[in-house]
Amino acid sequence: MSSNRAVAYKGAGKVEVVDIDYPGYELKDGPGVNPANIGRKLPHGAILKVVTTNICGSDQHMVRGRTTAPEGLVLGHEITGEVIDVGPGVEFIKTGDLVSVPFNISCGRCVNCKIGRTEICLNVNPDRPGSAYGYVDMGGWVGGQAEYVLVPYADWNLLKFPDKDQALEKILDLTMLSDIFPTGYHGAVTAGVGPGSSVYIAGAGPVGLAAAVGAQLLGAAVVIVADMQEDRLASARAFGCETINVAEQDPREQIARILGREEVDCGVDAVGFEAKGHGHDAKEAPATVLNTLMDVTKAGGALGIPGLYVTGDPGGVDEAAKEGSLSLRLGLGWAKALGFMTGQCPVMRYHRPLMEAILHDRVHIADAVNATVISLDDAPRGYAEFDKGAAKKFVIDPHGTTGLATAS
């Protein structure tokens, strides 16, 4: 039996690299595993040697202690890897394939999967529709910030790269297909971005920057990115975005300066439930982003909301926030007839065309999000720097495959 090492949540503010079981074709008991999933047979699964696995802002919410994640949970839902073994029920995926893993775990068999709503699969999580690797309340599937990971329903879930050598040359772009590139793109699509659009994107973290790249790919005329950290805004300006520092500037006034009018066509929330208010000494105010987006988006426009909102937040600013209740100006949204789209991104809807855009040099998402490769042992450092607001997307390389890991 081979060994396996992984990044595990060890309590608020703490992660460790630990020894875990090598994956097999049965879901075992462990931190966060739903009892109804224990013993589940996985003949349709494949075991991957992880090539790259990224630290996500959603992981950071758990590590900050802002969810009900149990200690010991193995983290990581952004996974790219090489297939090294397949179960007896796998027909098309082969050993040696280099693949991207959608962070949504889906069965391909239920009514939601059959209509393309893979983010709310009905058969993989006994708690609720939808599942993901290494994430709280998502069924207990083992995370991929590890040396090896199991992917269920491999023929359905895995996106095979057509040329392995070409894929390895572009691995820092392709690693973003598991989550943030489709997620940001989904935010832009559901906001209605199209040729000639103006769009306001709240948040210049990796998902916000991916949404900005997606908006440009969709033909937006003006992409405005707002954040409170100047180095993140500099990343947005580097690929042609307008920016607003909401710690210092009023969004409406700055939109008017940029566009000559105070409202945009479309809005994207890439911040989520840990949002702060505006101004120098802003405190956490989780409804701020959504209310601002309703204010600055034109009547009849739409909001794409890929930013994460949760049903349980132990660190919420008040009792309402602790259960995910926010003080939204819904009357304003109703009066302006705004559309809202929330929830996880259905990655499989987008990852193949976005892969083609990467392979044919139409987009360079790794540069836009400042992809920074680190070793598995350096994962705790990556989490600590990301928590401090580093303008980077940390990519963990557990086996040194890329040869690009930075020293600690």
Q: Same domain for 249 and 118?
A: no
Same domain assignment for residues 57 and 154: yes
Q: Are residues 71 and 102 in the same domain?
A: yes
Task: Examine residue 406 and state whether it is found in any structural domain, yes or no.
Answer: no
Domains of the chain: total: 2
| 282 and 204 both lie in a single domain | yes
83-133 pLDDT, tens digit per residue, is: 999 999 999 999 999 999 999 999 999 999 999 999 999 999 999 999 999
Closest CA to 206 of 382, 64, 326: 382
Tell me whether residue 407 is in a domain.
no
Question: For residue 408, is pLDDT > 80?
Answer: no
Half-sphere exposure of 250 (CA within 13 A, CB side): 7
Asked if 233 and 316 sit in the same domain, the reply is: yes
327 and 186 in a single domain? The answer is yes
For residue 165, pLDDT beyond 90: yes
- 124 lies in which domain range? 5-179+346-397
Question: Tens of pLDDT along 127-159?
Answer: 999 999 999 999 999 999 999 999 999 999 999
CATH number of the CATH domain containing 280: 3.40.50.720
* 105 and 194 belong to one structural domain: no
**135: its two tokens:** 């994430």
Say yes or no: 328 and 375 in one domain.
no
Give the tens place of pLDDT for each residue, 298-323.
999 999 999 999 888 898 888 988 88
Cβ-count burial 326-348 (b if 16+ within 10 Å, e if not): beeeeeebeeeebebbebbbbbb
Residue 174 has a pLDDT of 98
Query: Same structural domain for residues 302 and 358?
Result: no
Assess contact for 190 and 224: CB atoms under 8 A.
no
Question: Do the Cβ atoms of 124 and 131 come closer than 8 Å?
Answer: yes
Tokens describing residue 281? 């000494």
Statement to judge: residues 165 and 27 lie in one domain: yes
Pair 391, 370: CB distance under 8 Å? yes
pTM, entire model:
0.96
> Domain check: are 287 and 312 in the same one?
yes
Structural domain includes residue 380: yes
Using CA atoms, how far apart are residues 167 and 342, in angstroms rounded to an integer? 32
